[in-house]
Amino acid sequence: MSLRVLGTGAADGWPQAFCRCASCGAERAAGRVRSQTAALLDGRLLLDCGPTTPEAAVRAGVDLADLRVVLLTHQHSDHLSPAALLHRSWITTAPLEVVGPPDAIEAARAWLAPDAAVTWHAVGPGDRLQIDGYDVRVLASSHTTGLGAPGVPDAVLYDVTSPTGLRVLHATDTGPLPTATVAAAEGAAYDVVLLEETFGDRGDLAGDGHLALEGFAEQVRRLRAVGAVLDATDVVAVHLSHHNPPTPELARRLAAWGARVVDDGTLLAPPDADRPPGPRGPTRTLVLGGARSGKSAEAERILAAAPAVTYVATSGRRDGDAEWRERVAAHVDRRPAHWTTDETLDLVPLLEDDAPDAPALLVDCLTLWLTGVIDRHEGWDTEAPGHADAWRGVDADVAALVAAWRRTTRRVVAVSNEVGQGVVPATASGRMFRDAMGRVNAAVAAETEDVRWCVAGRVVAL
């Protein structure tokens, strides 16, 4: 039993040969090269076969001499190289079975002699084949090439179970998975999922036929919801292009969703082949940063693949403040539709809810929470006779929050502002708030296993 990814790149690879963008530059400097996506199962079954696939096998230290089955997802040139099949025919007359959409089969067939020892299988979504001991289920893709006959799907995905029981989902190319595909995958408990993630942060380029990072996270969430992806499933991002951030940053983001990026040639199965043991994910994450540093976007990314999320908005309403309404609306618009929102300052009961099915919490933000707490205790006027009593109430609320944060068993991500790196506030109340916010951040961070600092959209672990 073995599954090796031969290539993990998009059609034009990564780095792109004609490009000098920062992403391509970082990958060149690191010596990383990703060729067109393909994977080899047991040395016998090939998932897609583009022009670079044979060479990628050689670079990975394997050969294709025992190849008996090729599953083609569609006719685009990075997934189907008829020349590769022709070159194989120069070496061996061993039988080969080629599976794919009708137009892809016809394109490949034209390159081989009529008497070649190849069995051709034109398939569509819903078909199921038993080939060379493999159970092959054909699933729908949202990708299209425009090269097939009208009304006939010209791109498919594959659910493959090996003779030894290894179950693999090969899901590239595709945009958001069709409802029928998610339904067909219910309870599959895949060992490995190869899921496309072409466009990185450029979701505007993905359209309906590809995925960017945000869409990738959503598909992982959907597959988890039906038992297709479990905690033990190795979810690997493939079909990667230079629209992604450099590999270290990509790996960091994918890890939050239980997924990873691997180098070309990586052995994925047996399950412990090249996969480092991963620790249990954090319960508490604190994301710090200044204004417009990217901290809220980072917090939202962390939970993008969570089954359910309660977004805890601590800002409250500001009647008559149009600019504030616009800020709030922008936050609301980018939240996934399945998230719920709770506008409250009462964080302790939420943190103490230890029900097994309690949604993850995203608290945005602790800065506005502290502002609201000070408002509640009327603690802004440093000259007021009751100021000391007011701040005893504030300190008690902070202590209760930190204690609940320490005890919580819920997955929780909180956002907070770092307000102490600018000019010294001109007012006593401003200085008081700056100092109090610093103390809150330090107290919460001391009880947090995952603290992140955002600067200029970049994220640093603390």
The pTM of the full predicted model, rounded to 2 decimals, is 0.90
Could you tell me which residues are beta bridge partners of residue 69? 45, 97
- Using only C-alpha atoms, the chain has a radius of gyration, in whole angstroms, of 26
In this prediction, residues 353-361 reach a mean pLDDT of 93
Do the beta carbons of residue 228 and residue 187 sit within 8 Å?
A: yes
pLDDT of residue 383: 87
pLDDT of residue 1: 78
Each residue's pLDDT tens digit, 91-126? 999 999 999 999 999 999 999 999 999 999 999 999
Listed in sequence order, the residues at least 6 apart from 310 whose beta carbon sits closer than 8 Å to its beta carbon are 339, 340, 341, 342, 350, 359, 360, 361, 362
Each residue's pLDDT tens digit, 297-329? 999 999 999 999 999 999 866 666 777 677 767
Selected catalytic residue, list 331, 338, 377, 387 = 331
Each residue's pLDDT tens digit, 64-93? 999 999 999 999 999 999 999 999 999 999
What is the strand order of the sheet 309-313 is part of? Answer: 340-343, 309-313, 360-364, 412-417, 284-289, 450-455, 458-461
Each residue's pLDDT tens digit, 418-455? 988 878 888 988 899 999 999 999 999 999 999 999 99
Each residue's pLDDT tens digit, 144-197? 999 999 999 999 999 999 999 999 999 999 999 999 999 999 999 999 999 999
Alpha carbon distance 273, 413 (integer Å): 32
| Residue 387 bears catalytic tag | no
| Among the ranges given (24-33, 232-241, 263-272, 351-360), the one the predictor scored with the smallest mean pLDDT | 263-272
Give the amino acid at 298. E
pLDDT of residue 50: 97
